Amino acid sequence: MKSLTLTRPDDFHLHLRDQPFLEVTVPPTAKHFARALVMPNLQPPITTLEKLGYYKKRILAAAEGYDFTPLMTLYLTEQSDPMEIKRGFAEGLVTAVKIYPQGATTHSEAGVRDLKKTDAVFQVMEQIGMPLSIHGEVVDPAIDIFDREKVFLERVLAPLRADFPALKIILEHITTKEAVDFVTEAQGPIAASITAHHLHLDRNDLLAGGIRPHFYCLPIVKRAEHKEALIEAATSGNPKFFLGTDSAPHAQAAKETACGCAGVYSAPVALGAYLEVFEQRGALDRFEAFASFYGADFYGLPRNPGKITMVKEDLEVPEFFVYGCEVVMPFRSEAKVAWKPKGDQLFKEEDWEEE
């Protein structure tokens, strides 16, 4: 049987939500990933070190029995205090600051409307080498939803890069050829995370032959040519592109409704889903660097010491998982994923091998 042993990977973009859901959301990630960058868009959002510290404790409690480290992010607002951010970074409590343009996505109401108001934060972050994680879409209602990432590059990201040339920037969950080109060509420290679902889906999957709300996420999936550009970037061996699942659970009822929430719950299957794409492209030899090296290197973190073995064996994905009083439908619900962790019993014992 074919198998692949790699350094335990990191998920550099993850939504775990909060209690009572952490017992559901933490284990699938902790089983596959040594660390995950946890997004702060709770309601209310994680805007202070105090809230962040308690949130981290709740996550760690749900991760008991797993060798898993949550890397925490602070939600940037126009009132954020640069000195608090600096202190959180110096103490090792905060790994990155996240920008949500106000109104861009789930729980972004408290996000930033006018980037000029957060210049003082960026100045400090640039000085101390702290990473800025960006949801890269404009919120201008006049801009077509399929163009919001592309326009963000021109209107927001290019000027930000010019104003803060040494700021460490991560453009999250990129979805367009334009974003791939921007990140490839831009000067200074800049990288991008790529999700498994954006490597698998284009807008026909979302909209042709019936609307599939479980494929609705933000940034929205684009034309096939953009998916192709993402696959090329992910499998290219360019260290500017690395793994970030953006696994974002919403209860089934909140997805299958007249105005459904954005988010794909991919955590239970993401690693295998990425591997499928790398295998199809004959790039399995580049997977470890994409999943386990480039992100850690960009964030200035040590690479993980342990290993995980993935085997080429069908993973039968359940239709749904219990999610509080409701259920959540995973990516590839009721289908098969071609790779799974060795000895897999999803959500049970840890099964990676320490070196």
CA 254 to chain centre: 21
Q: Residue 106 or 193: which CB sits closer to ligand DOR? A: 106
103 contact partners, CB below 8 Å, separation of at least 6: 109, 111, 139
3-class DSSP state for residue 265? strand
Is 217 one of the binding residues for ligand DOR (CB under 6 A)? yes
CA–CA gap between residue 18 and residue 108 (Å, rounded): 16
Active site residue 246: yes
Q: Residue 149 or 246: which CB sits closer to Zn ion? A: 246
Q: CB nearest Zn ion: which residue? A: 246
The single residue among 69, 80, 106, 266 that binds ligand DOR, judged by CB under 6 A, is 106
Say which entry of ligand DOR, Zn ion, none residue 105 contacts (CB below 5 to 8 A, set by partner kind).
ligand DOR
Say which entry of Zn ion, ligand DOR, none residue 332 contacts (CB below 5 to 8 A, set by partner kind).
none
Backbone dihedral angles phi then psi of residue 85, each to the nearest 5 degrees: -65, -45
Task: Give least dist CB 237 to Zn ion, A.
Answer: 25
Task: Give least dist CB 262 to ligand DOR, A.
Answer: 4
Is 254 one of the binding residues for ligand DOR (CB under 6 A)? no
The single residue among 25, 41, 47, 292 that binds ligand DOR, judged by CB under 6 A, is 41
How many other CB atoms sit within 10 Å of the CB of residue 61?
Answer: 12
Task: Give least dist CB 161 to ligand DOR, A.
Answer: 21
Task: Give least dist CB 80 to Zn ion, A.
Answer: 19
124 contact partners, CB below 8 Å, separation of at least 6: 82, 83, 85, 86, 130
CA–CA gap between residue 349 and residue 27 (Å, rounded): 10
The single residue among 76, 221, 248, 329 that binds ligand DOR, judged by CB under 6 A, is 248
How many residues of this chain bind ligand DOR (CB under 6 A)? 10
Task: Give least dist CB 134 to ligand DOR, A.
Answer: 11
Say which entry of Zn ion, ligand DOR, none residue 267 contacts (CB below 5 to 8 A, set by partner kind).
none
DSSP character string of 46-91: --SHHHHHHHHHHHHHHTTTS--EEEEEEEP-TT--HHHHHHHHHT
- Using DSSP bridges, classify how beta strands 3-7 and 10-14 pair: parallel, antiparallel or unpaired: unpaired
Is 218 one of the binding residues for ligand DOR (CB under 6 A)? yes
Say which entry of ligand DOR, Zn ion, none residue 255 contacts (CB below 5 to 8 A, set by partner kind).
none
Task: Give least dist CB 139 to ligand DOR, A.
Answer: 12
Under a CB-based contact definition with an 8 Å cutoff, are residues 86 and 128 in contact? yes
Task: Give least dist CB 217 to ligand DOR, A.
Answer: 3
Strand partners, 328: 321
The single residue among 8, 13, 15, 98 that binds ligand DOR, judged by CB under 6 A, is 15
Of the residues 10, 11, 202, 246, only one is catalytic, namely: 246
- Tokens at 139, concatenated: 């919120």
CA–CA gap between residue 16 and residue 38 (Å, rounded): 7
CA–CA gap between residue 270 and residue 340 (Å, rounded): 10
Q: Residue 246 or 276: which CB sits closer to Zn ion? A: 246
Q: Which of residues 113-152 bind ligand DOR (CB under 6 A)?
A: 135
Strand partners, 38: 14, 72
The single residue among 110, 139, 143, 262 that binds ligand DOR, judged by CB under 6 A, is 262
Contact string 162-201 vs ligand DOR (x = CB under 6 A): ----------------------------------------
C-alpha pair distances (Å), 9 with each of 32, 68, 194, 242, 244: 7, 11, 14, 10, 10
Q: Residue 246 or 288: which CB sits closer to ligand DOR? A: 246
Tally the C-alpha atoms within 13 A of residue 74's C-alpha that lie toward its C-beta. 31
Report how far apart the first and last C-alpha atoms of the chain are (Å, whole number): 22
Q: Which residues bind ligand DOR (CB under 6 A)?
A: 15, 41, 105-106, 135, 217-218, 248, 262-263
Residue positions annotated with a catalytic role:
246
